[in-house]
Amino acid sequence: MVIFANIRRQVSENLSVITARAIKSILVFSGVLSGLVLSVPIRAQDSGQLTLNQVVRAALSEDIWQQGNELRKQVVLAEGVAAGQLPDPKITLSAANVPVDSFDLDQEAMTQLKVGVSQIFPRGDTLELKQLKGRKQAELTGYQGKVREAQVAMTVSQLFLDVYLSQQTIALIEASRTPFEQLVQVTEVSYGAGLDRTRQADIIRAELELGRLDERLDKQWQQYDGNWQSLMEWLPQQVAVQPLSGDLPAILPLAHVRPGDWLSLSGILAKHPSVLAIRQQIDIAQTDVDISKQGYKPEWGLNTNYGYRQDAPDGSNRSDFISVGVTFDLPLFTDNRQDKKVSSAIYRAEAIETERLLILRKLRAEVGSTLARIERLNQRDDRYQEVLLPQVHQQSESSLSAYTNDVGDFAEVMRAHIAELNTKIEALQIQVERLKMIVRLNYLLAGELN
State whether residue 308 is helix, strand or coil.
strand
- Domain spans of the chain? 21-85+126-297+335-449
**pLDDT tens, residue by residue, 354-413:** 999 999 999 999 999 999 999 999 999 999 999 999 999 999 888 888 877 777 777 788
Nearest CA among 422, 400, 420 for reference residue 411: 400
As a CATH number, domain 21-85+126-297+335-449 is: 1.20.1600.10
Predicted TM-score (pTM) of this structure: 0.80
**pLDDT tens, residue by residue, 146-194:** 999 999 999 999 999 999 999 999 999 998 888 777 777 766 666 665 5
pLDDT number for residue 259: 65
Q: How many residues are there in the chain?
A: 450
Gap between the Cα atoms of 266 and 251, Å rounded: 23
Residue type, 370: T
Q: Which residue has the higher pLDDT, 411 or 335?
A: 335
Q: Which residue has the higher pLDDT, 20 or 232?
A: 232
pLDDT number for residue 36: 38
> Which residues are CB-neighbours of 120 under 8 A, at least 6 positions away?
86, 87, 299, 300, 301
**pLDDT tens, residue by residue, 74-112:** 999 999 999 999 999 999 999 999 888 888 888 888 889
Q: How many CB atoms are closer than 10 A to CB 363?
A: 23
Angle CA 34–203–408, to nearest 5: 65
DSSP annotation of 43 reads -
